Amino acid sequence: MKVEEVELRRIRLPLVTPFTTSFGTEADRDILLVKVTGPDAEGWGECVALAEPVYSSEYVDGAADVIRRHLLPRLFALSDPAARFVGPALADVKGHPMAKAALEMALLDAELRIAGMTFGAYLGAVRGRVPAGVSVGIMASVPQLLDAVDAYLEQGYLRVKLKIQPGWDVEPVQAVRERFGDGLALQVDANTAYTLADARHLARLDPFDMLLIEQPLAEDDLAGHATLAKQLRTPICLDESITSARAAAEALARGACAVVNIKAGRVGGYLEARRVHDVCAASGVPVWCGGMLETGLGRAANVALAALPNFSLPGDTSASDRYWRHDITVPFILNEGHLAVPTGPGLGVAPDPDALAESTTSSERLRWGTSG
């Protein structure tokens, strides 16, 4: 594939409601998009790094900087920058998986558009639609949380994930279970907010028969998760800890989790995400697709990934209107609790030029092969 230009474009999109997790509140998203343009196609990538390094060490200004200074020069040296060569070409740069993933995604989109193949077909999708879950942030009060969950269930979401932290865990979970009944598919996400000393407290969540508890302990604490797993009945799912297929294999071998959340940005791209899927499938461990408050671009790729066979739990792949008043692509719409996997070549969606122009805060174009 030939690429002539790379554009690094920053957009700002306000969320329909602020989203609070144990690490902070997001009121809007400052998103880095990567566009590659060649003679035969263009392709889009979305970098999921947040404005601040609070979910992981990456942050959006840092991602743009590492792309500009260190990643693009390595890709410029390739005679064929096909997506499958991106991971190996960037492997000597430590870390920065979200920045790497955005580049790989843009090149894969362009490549698949030329080949006339969908993201889903390329990754190995076996479904035309995927069940949608919704992630519900920490709220000011339990009644407010119950209203929010009620509204999402009314819209048809098939499972609910509650964000938890010390001081906001047993009480909201109990309230949601009591109000919406045993039939509700319910799970929680702690984003590393607890320590092993909280094991007895976390065991108080067991009676609520949840699908899983996600990432209770620090990301580098596989041993702690393995110990905690023996003390809880609720299955442990890992997110932040799973940074690669090898990390997934190690977590499973150590008994640190029984379920895995897959986010392409966290593992360095959709190709590594597929390898995480395959490692888990080989061990009979179910996976689901996480979310990072993506626009329709990242959502298109996530929905395609979530259509692989071992994605056996609903993901954080919600409809566009859960996040944005105006998405930059055609919106993803909930239909009987599912989102349709796009059917057009590549991502199957592209930004609407007006929506893009309206949300753009900066843009930088680099000619392929030059560093400025």
Site of interaction with ligand NPG (CB under 6 A):
21, 26, 50, 55, 135, 189, 191, 239, 290-293, 316, 318
In the complex, least distance from residue 290 CB atom to ligand NPG, rounded to whole angstroms: 5
In the complex, least distance from residue 54 CB atom to ligand NPG, rounded to whole angstroms: 8
280: which 2 tokens? 């888990």
In the complex, least distance from residue 215 CB atom to ligand NPG, rounded to whole angstroms: 7
In the complex, least distance from residue 28 CB atom to ligand NPG, rounded to whole angstroms: 12
Shortest-Cβ-distance residue relative to ligand NPG: 291
In the complex, least distance from residue 259 CB atom to ligand NPG, rounded to whole angstroms: 13
Quick check: is 35 catalytic? no
Q: Given the complex with ligand NPG, which of 44 and 323 has the nearer CB atom?
A: 323
In the complex, least distance from residue 365 CB atom to ligand NPG, rounded to whole angstroms: 28
Residue indicated by tokens 């061990």: 283
Q: Given the complex with ligand NPG, which of 115 and 153 has the nearer CB atom?
A: 153
> Mapped to the 3 state alphabet, what secondary structure does the chain carry?
CCCCEEEEEEEEEEEEEEEEECCEEEEEEEEEEEEEECCCCEEEEEECCCCCCCCCCCCHHHHHHHHHHHHHHHHHCCCCCCHHHHHHHHCCCCCCHHHHHHHHHHHHHHHHHHHCCEHHHHHCCCCCEEEEEEEECCCCCHHHHHHHHHHHHHHCCCEEEEECECCECHHHHHHHHHHHCCCCCEEEECCCCCCHHHHHHHHHHHHHCCCCEECCCCCCCHHHHHHHHHHCCCCEEECCCCCCHHHHHHHHHCCCCCEEEECHHHHCCHHHHHHHHHHHHHCCCCEEECCCCCCHHHHHHHHHHCCCCCECCCECCCCHHHCECCCCCCCCCCECCEEECCCCCECCCCCCHHHHHHHEEEEEEEECCCCC
Q: Given the complex with ligand NPG, which of 13 and 50 has the nearer CB atom?
A: 50
Active-site choice (94, 161, 163, 230): 163
Q: Given the complex with ligand NPG, which of 19 and 38 has the nearer CB atom?
A: 19
Q: Given the complex with ligand NPG, which of 131 and 290 has the nearer CB atom?
A: 290
Q: Given the complex with ligand NPG, which of 21 and 234 has the nearer CB atom?
A: 21
Active-site choice (35, 100, 161, 263): 263
The residues assigned a catalytic role are 163, 263
